[in-house]
């Protein structure tokens, strides 16, 4: 924003910090870019087997297509604030969109694994800055009474992208080719670039020195953590030296970063922004919610496909209503944020999300698609009620100079929470499958009275019958393990409830036009 606009916003907070003539069209451009970037975090998952065959890569190697993107994006996200100050929000946004779109085309043209990994690293770097920049610009082009609606639009892109990603990726892979998973970004990126170029104003530059040591320590910590989360399952977690090394680098890098930032004259991140209680509590809250945000999306596809026999496309269709619930909640909550205390809306969202997870603990192998659809709609609706008012509260009192850094950390913490959540449920799933198999198998023995009375053929030792029984036991063990994960996520979701009361709530100003809000205890 310009200095004049920032001063005007400080005098009258009801006015937007950045004035634009076509706010709706600019918002559409911002959301196109956001959806394009968020889609890419999940759209390539279903295409990995096809990529492996085409790129002559082993299944253990092809996962680097995902890992390289995730690690690069995580490390680059905190750079958003510094680059925005150096080059301006508009110039950085256009560069990010153009770079992401161009590299997407190169990913689709890749002929080997090495090329693909390099391109995915570059794609992650460019894409990392799109989401926090979009959120920052939405906060600056909207007056305070419209912030709730702006966050609803932003939240729709953040939350619906991962839901439709696997479905769209499966459709493009089966109908055309895995390369179209990346080529689909070209028209979207071109349109988003054009809209941002035409409708977004240039912003003033705020030159500041680059703290390379501080960034290096933060990047080391984030990169090591992402590698630990991504590779932990395959390397046996802390039974391997690699996991302990990555944990050590994560902790030591973060410790040195914090100490350096508190003592440096011009640190990479000004930690004074965390004195804002709403920002600090909002980051803690979104981390906990992030644990459950994408965990269900990671668990449901293998449950539906491997245990219940759903094909890829049908799995996507059954999960699609979750996105419908999210869209509906965005429409509703965007209008409620300015009229009710946002903390109350967050509590309603937590309750709905926990209820949906409770319903999921009642899944069975004999059920139809209805329980999946119903719980998905409720969960999508609940997460919308959490995400929109939480975003509004988190940035409600932050100083304008910290806004870009704050939004980048909000995206970073949400993604880290999601990574931790997916790793956690995967670990619990694999361990509980083994435990459940042992417990169930212990009751099926040749000397068991129940077996002798109802299934004496098991005592014959027929290999075919024994293999069939073992398969059924494995299936039931896996199903129970999934239910254990859903119960765990329900408790984690409820753990976030006390944090709501540590946020400064927004209450409607009596007689204020348009549902303007004020911050209070």
Let me know: does 256 contact 217? Beta carbons within 8 Å: yes
Count of other CB atoms within 10 angstroms of residue 82: 21
CA distances for 207 relative to 7, 101, 132, 219, 266, angstroms: 19, 28, 19, 22, 12
Instruction: Check for a shared fold between 1-209 and 274-441+461-521.
Output: yes
Q: Residue 125 is inside which H or E element, if any?
A: helix 113-128
The yes-or-no verdict on residue 473 having pLDDT over 80 is: no
pLDDT tens digits for range 16-55: 555 556 777 888 888 888 888 887 777 776 677 777 778 8
Residues 6 or more apart from 215 whose CB is under 8 A from it?
A: 78, 79, 82, 268
pLDDT tens digits for range 372-397: 889 888 988 888 888 878 877 887 77
Angle at 193 between CA 192 and CA 195, to 5 degrees: 65
Distance CA 163, CA 151 (A): 18
Mean per-residue pLDDT, 473-492: 86
The yes-or-no verdict on residue 479 having pLDDT over 90 is: no
Mean pLDDT of the chain: 78
For residue 199, give the nearest of 33, 1, 32, 20 by alpha carbon: 20
pLDDT tens digits for range 452-467: 555 555 555 556 655 6
Distance CA 140, CA 23 (A): 11
Q: What is the pLDDT of residue 10?
A: 42
pLDDT > 70 fraction of the chain, expressed in percent and rounded: 82
Residues 6 or more apart from 420 whose CB is under 8 A from it?
A: 229, 290, 291
CATH 1.20.1250.20 fits 1-209, yes or no: yes
Segment 456-461 long-range contacts (CB within 8 Å, at least 24 positions apart): none
pLDDT tens digits for range 63-122: 777 777 877 888 888 888 888 888 888 889 999 999 999 999 998 888 888 888 899 889
For residue 200, give the nearest of 18, 35, 33, 38 by alpha carbon: 18
For residue 131, give the nearest of 373, 512, 404, 336 by alpha carbon: 404
Maximum alpha-carbon separation in the chain: 87
CA distances for 472 relative to 198, 428, 465, 466, 475, angstroms: 60, 21, 11, 10, 5
Distance CA 156, CA 164 (A): 12
For residue 395, give the nearest of 506, 306, 269, 287 by alpha carbon: 506
CATH 1.20.1250.20 fits 274-441+461-521, yes or no: yes
Of 96-100, 153-157, 427-431, give the lowest mean pLDDT range.
153-157
The yes-or-no verdict on residue 451 having pLDDT over 60 is: no
Q: What is the pLDDT of residue 60?
A: 62
Q: What is the pLDDT of residue 251?
A: 93
Distance CA 120, CA 67 (A): 9
Residues 6 or more apart from 335 whose CB is under 8 A from it?
A: 148, 149
Mean per-residue pLDDT, 313-339: 78
What is the rounded radius of gyration, in angstroms, for the C-alpha atoms of the chain?
24
pLDDT tens digits for range 259-296: 988 888 888 888 888 888 888 888 888 888 888 777 77
Q: What is the pLDDT of residue 343?
A: 85
Q: What is the pLDDT of residue 444?
A: 63
Model confidence band, residue 11 (pLDDT cutoffs 50, 70, 90): very low
**Tokens 């999306």 found at:** 297
Let me know: does 39 contact 104? Beta carbons within 8 Å: no
Q: What is the pLDDT of residue 514?
A: 38
Model confidence band, residue 442 (pLDDT cutoffs 50, 70, 90): low
Pairing type for strands 505-508 and 517-520 reads antiparallel
Question: Both tokens of residue 172?
Answer: 């493009």
Side-chain-facing half-sphere of 381: CA atoms under 13 Å: 15
Q: What is the pLDDT of residue 460?
A: 53
Domain ranges in the chain are: 1-209, 211-267, 274-441+461-521
For residue 282, give the nearest of 429, 402, 450, 188 by alpha carbon: 402
Question: Both tokens of residue 372?
Answer: 């999946």
For residue 347, give the nearest of 289, 420, 262 by alpha carbon: 289
Q: Burial level of 6, CB count in 10 A (0-12/13-18/19+)?
A: middle
Q: What is the pLDDT of residue 17?
A: 53
């Amino acid at each position: 924003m310009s200095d004049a606009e920032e001063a005007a916003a400080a005098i009258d907070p009801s006015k937007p910090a950045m004035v634009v003539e076509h706010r709706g069209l600019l918002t559409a451009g911002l959301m196109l870019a956001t959806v394009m970037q968020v889609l890419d975090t999940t759209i390539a998952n279903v295409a990995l087997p096809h990529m492996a065959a085409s790129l002559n890569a082993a299944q253990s190697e092809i996962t680097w297509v995902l890992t390289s993107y995730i690690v690069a994006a995580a490390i680059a996200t905190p750079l958003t604030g510094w680059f925005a100050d150096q080059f301006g929000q508009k110039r950085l946004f256009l560069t990010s969109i153009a770079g992401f779109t161009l590299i997407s085309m190169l990913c689709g043209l890749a002929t080997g694994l090495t090329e693909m990994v390099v391109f995915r690293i570059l794609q992650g770097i460019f894409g990392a800055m799109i989401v926090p920049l979009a959120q920052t610009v939405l906060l600056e082009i909207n007056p305070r009474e419209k912030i709730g609606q702006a966050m609803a639009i932003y939240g729709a892109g953040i939350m619906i992208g991962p839901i439709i990603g696997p479905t769209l990726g499966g459709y493009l892979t089966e109908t055309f080719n895995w390369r179209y998973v990346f080529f689909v970004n070209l028209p979207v990126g071109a349109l988003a670039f054009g809209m941002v170029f035409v409708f977004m104003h240039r912003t003033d530059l705020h030159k500041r020195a680059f703290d390379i040591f501080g960034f290096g320590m933060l990047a080391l910590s984030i990169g090591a953590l992402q590698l630990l989360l991504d590779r932990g399952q395959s390397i046996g977690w802390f039974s391997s030296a690699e996991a302990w090394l990555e944990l050590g680098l994560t902790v030591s890098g973060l410790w040195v970063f914090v100490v350096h930032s508190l003592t440096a004259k011009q640190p990479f991140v000004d930690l004074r922004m965390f004195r804002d209680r709403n920002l600090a509590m909002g980051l803690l809250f979104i981390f906990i919610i992030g644990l459950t945000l994408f965990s269900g999306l990671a668990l449901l596809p293998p449950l539906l496909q491997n245990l219940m026999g759903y094909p890829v496309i049908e799995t996507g269709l059954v999960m699609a209503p979750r996105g419908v619930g999210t869209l509906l909640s965005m429409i509703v909550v965007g209008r409620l944020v300015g009229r009710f205390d946002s903390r109350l809306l967050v509590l309603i969202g937590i309750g709905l999300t926990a209820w949906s997870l409770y319903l999921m603990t009642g899944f069975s192998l004999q059920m139809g698609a209805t329980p999946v659809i119903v719980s998905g709609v409720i969960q999508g609706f609940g997460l919308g009620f959490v995400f929109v008012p939480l975003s509004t509260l988190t940035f409600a009192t932050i100083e304008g100079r910290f806004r870009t850094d704050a939004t980048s950390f909000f995206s970073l913490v949400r993604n880290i929470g999601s990574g931790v959540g997916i790793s956690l449920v995967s670990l619990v799933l694999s361990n509980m499958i083994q435990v459940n198999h042992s417990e169930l198998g212990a009751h099926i023995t040749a000397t068991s009275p129940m077996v002798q009375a109802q299934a004496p053929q098991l005592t014959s030792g027929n290999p075919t019958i024994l293999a069939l029984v073992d398969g059924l036991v494995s299936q039931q063990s896996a199903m129970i393990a999934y239910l254990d994960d859903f119960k765990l996520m329900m408790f984690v979701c409820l753990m976030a409830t006390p944090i709501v009361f540590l946020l400064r709530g927004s209450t409607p100003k009596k007689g204020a036009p348009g549902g303007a809000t004020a911050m209070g205890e």
